[in-house]
């Protein structure tokens, strides 16, 4: 493995930059017109939609168990009965392009967008952050809260007062990082679109490689399972790391990964690295640590039909797609954008 020494541990934890200001509507020079993705009729429908419309990249759980859905055409909250559009008052669907959502430990909501920065909602008012306020990039595709309560947006870390942006000058192997996981030992796992997966142990950055000496590239999702093993998907399949060895457990990729209450691992993503079929797959808990765990393909479809994933409190599996959000209760799939799903 290639080790990159940090010039100074203190340098990494120095904060700078400034805070954003409370705003009801984002200034138009900071946002990106989303009309290229959708027709005028779709955008008009999204303006009054009662369910998530458009592509759903990520689905997260609120602290009370509600479902949070980041749609290109707005961020929604589902309370078990109704959907509520959380962003209808701050940005038009034609400018939104939301990719991720998070409720932090204080109960604040964060929305990350593709092109118009990030939004913070404390339950009463919205705050809009862009590069003018210290963000490294207005294109934010991932949000993560670390164990100390810092919120990460790609290469930007926010401590509640200011942003700290990390680059190769701080020892990072890349200028376009995103924090994917802080494991139980305190190590930070970073990835970057099209670039290498690496881990930071608070002293050293290590670019991770398989037994053939190849780095893991374009890792979108990673989890730590109940036994402490790390699971992640790159552009060549699904991998498991036990602390010493990387084992490729499947050819199936993993855009999203979650472990359910029974110990099964669920993934969404491409079935074959060279194909255009995506699927929702389940790896059986009893065989999880075999060289090749037993996998069941629950449902397959076209490219991008299976994206961000989570397990709800009732045990159902939720996942996003290019056409909205879906729920699988173990027997039945519900497409909430359909007439039946809206009843």
Domains of the chain plus CATH, in order, are 220-343 (2.120.10.30)
Q: What is the pLDDT of residues 318-331, one digit of tens each?
A: 999 999 999 999 99
What does the DSSP 8-state code read for residue 51?
S
Q: What is the pLDDT of residues 256-293, one digit of tens each?
A: 999 999 999 999 999 987 778 999 999 999 999 998 99
* Section 46-68 average pLDDT: 90
Query: Could you tell me what percent of the chain has a pLDDT over 70?
Result: 86
The C-alpha atoms of residue 300 and residue 282 are separated, in whole angstroms, by: 12
DSSP characters for 241-307?
A: E-SS-EEEEESS--SEEEE-TTS-EEEEEESSTTSSEEEEEEE-GGGTTSSS--EEEEEEEETTSS-
The C-alpha atoms of residue 300 and residue 298 are separated, in whole angstroms, by: 7
Q: Which residue has the tokens 């490729």?
A: 248
Q: Which residue has the tokens 């879906």?
A: 326
pLDDT reported for residue 337: 87
The C-alpha atoms of residue 98 and residue 116 are separated, in whole angstroms, by: 9
CB 70 within 8 A of CB 57: yes
The C-alpha atoms of residue 198 and residue 227 are separated, in whole angstroms, by: 21
Residue 186 has phi, psi (to 5 degrees) of 95, 0
User: What pTM value is reported for the model?
Assistant: 0.88
């Amino acid at each position: 493995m290639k080790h990159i020494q940090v010039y100074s541990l203190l340098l990494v934890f120095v904060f700078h930059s400034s805070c954003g200001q409370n705003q009801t509507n984002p200034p138009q020079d900071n946002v990106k017109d989303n009309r290229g993705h959708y027709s005028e009729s779709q955008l008009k429908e999204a303006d009054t939609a009662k369910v998530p419309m458009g592509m759903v990249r990520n689905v997260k759980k609120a602290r009370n168990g509600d479902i949070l859905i980041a749609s290109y055409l707005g961020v929604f909250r589902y309370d078990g009965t109704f959907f509520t559009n959380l962003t209808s008052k701050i940005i038009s669907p034609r400018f939104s392009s939301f990719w991720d959502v998070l409720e932090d430990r204080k109960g604040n909501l964060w929305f990350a967008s593709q092109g118009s920065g990030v939004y913070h909602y404390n339950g009463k008012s919205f705050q809009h952050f862009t590069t003018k306020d210290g963000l490294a990039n207005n294109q934010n595709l991932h949000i993560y809260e670390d164990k100390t309560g810092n919120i990460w947006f790609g290469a930007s870390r926010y401590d509640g007062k200011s942003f700290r942006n990390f680059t190769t000058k701080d020892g990072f192997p890349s200028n376009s990082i995103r924090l994917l996981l802080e494991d139980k030992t305190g190590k930070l796992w970073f990835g970057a679109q099209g670039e290498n997966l690496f881990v930071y142990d608070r002293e050293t950055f290590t670019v991770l490689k398989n037994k053939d000496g190849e780095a893991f590239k374009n890792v979108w999702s990673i989890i730590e399972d109940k036994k402490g093993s790390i699971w992640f998907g790159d552009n060549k399949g699904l991998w498991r790391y036990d602390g010493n060895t990387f084992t490729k457990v499947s050819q199936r990729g993993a855009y999203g990964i979650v472990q359910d209450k029974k110990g099964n691992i669920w993934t969404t993503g491409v079935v074959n690295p060279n194909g255009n079929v995506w699927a929702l797959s389940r790896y059986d808990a009893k065989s999880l640590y075999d060289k090749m765990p037993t996998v069941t393909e629950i449902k397959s479809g076209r490219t991008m039909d299976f994206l961000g994933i989570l397990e709800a409190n009732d045990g159902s599996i939720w996942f996003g797609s290019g056409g909205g959000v879906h729920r699988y209760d173990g027997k039945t799939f519900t497409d909430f954008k359909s007439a039946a799903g809206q009843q």
